[in-house]
Amino acid sequence: MPPMARLLVVEDDPFVRSALIRQLTEAAHTVRSVGTALEALREVAQVGFDVVVLDLGLPDLDGAQALKMLRGITDVPVIVATARDDEAEIVRLLTDGADDYLVKPFSAAHLTARIAAVLRRAGGRTGHGGATGEPVPERVLRVGGLCVDPLRRQADLDGTPLDLTRREFDLLAYLAGRPGIVVPRKELLAEVWRQSYGDDQTIDVHLSWLRRKLGETAARPRYLHTLRGVGVKLEPPAA
């Protein structure tokens, strides 16, 4: 795990918060903590963080609302910590921008492993990892009229910029890097969502939104093609 990551813990229970601070500090992270959603928004706006650990049961705003507000101001990875284990709720949180979730109670080892996973993912997005620590240039991906620039995190279709969420961009860029190849859903969960397990509905929801922005539907695909029971591929439209 990268040492001294900057973490924000958003948790209203002082005992849980103290335990998390101690455990994460022992894991060599720098930790700040707040007990309300509004404090979290203020901290994120003023201080740079590598990961936010967000409790849903906050006294001023529901954590799901706080997540949407956070996504309006930052791309910082967010791990949702929740006592809610409802599948539909978890899918909704992931589609609203959560990078991962943990159902309470969870162990310190489990949390630190999830933090390490989202940090690896964040490092991949920003292009770090060269021998000198400089950003590693990534080539622009072109598939038909679709152009995806992973380094600048920009995409356009036939010269028109696409307004994509962070997860939509990650999904599109991953598929664009493998044009014409059927990518299994398990691989998408592992590489885009950084999860070893999950519900196919999570992928389906993002594919649906992505298709809409590409001007296509599942019934009449142009770029995105789903092979039932196998996976997804991105390829240029037929002439």
Residue ranges of domains in the chain = 6-126, 141-234
| pLDDT at site 127 | 35
Distance CA 52, CA 20 (A): 12
> What are the residues facing 82 on neighbouring strands?
103
pLDDT digits over 174-212, tens only? 899 888 888 888 888 878 877 766 666 788 888 999 999
Question: So what's the pLDDT on residue 125?
Answer: 44
pLDDT per position as a tens digit, 87-139 = 788 888 888 888 888 888 888 788 888 888 888 776 644 333 333 333 333 47
Question: Between 142 and 108, where is the model more confident?
Answer: 142
Q: How far apart are CA 9 and CA 47, in angstroms?
A: 13
pLDDT of residue 135: 36
Convert the pLDDT of each residue in 146-178 to its tens digit.
Answer: 999 887 788 999 999 999 888 888 899 989 988
Please report the pLDDT score of residue 198 as a whole number: 60
Q: How far is Cα 203 from Cα 168, in angstroms, rounded to an integer?
A: 10
Quote the tokens at residue 14.
Answer: 């002082």
Please state, in angstroms and rounded to a whole number, the distance separating the CA atoms of residues 52 and 93.
Answer: 14
Contact residues for 76 (Cβ-Cβ < 8 A; gap 6+)? 44, 49, 50, 51, 52, 70
pLDDT on residue 7: 92
- What backbone phi and psi angles, to 5 degrees, belong to 191? -95, -35
CATH class of 141-234: mainly alpha
Q: What is the pLDDT of residue 93?
A: 84
- Please check the confidence at residue 223 and state whether its pLDDT lies above 90: yes
pLDDT of 52 strictly over 90: yes
pLDDT in tens, 57-87: 889 888 888 888 888 888 889 999 887 777 7
Please list the helix, strand and coil fractions of the chain in percent, rounded to the nearest 5, in that order: 40, 20, 40
Element (H, E) at 108: helix 108-126
Phi, psi of 132 (to 5 degrees): -95, 0
Question: According to the model, what pLDDT value does residue 9 have?
Answer: 93
Two tokens at 96?
A: 């609203």
Reply yes or no on whether the pLDDT at 1 is more than 50: no
11-48: pLDDT as tens digits: 988 888 888 888 888 888 889 999 999 999 888 888 77
Tokens coding 116: 């390490």
Residue found under tokens 């995105």: 224
* Angstrom distance (rounded) from CA 188 to CA 159: 27
- pLDDT bin (cut points 50, 70, 90) of residue 4 is low
Whether 220 has a pLDDT exceeding 80, the answer reads yes
CA 105 vs CA 28, 55, 82, 134: distances in Å: 22, 12, 9, 39
Q: CATH top-level class for 6-126?
A: alpha beta
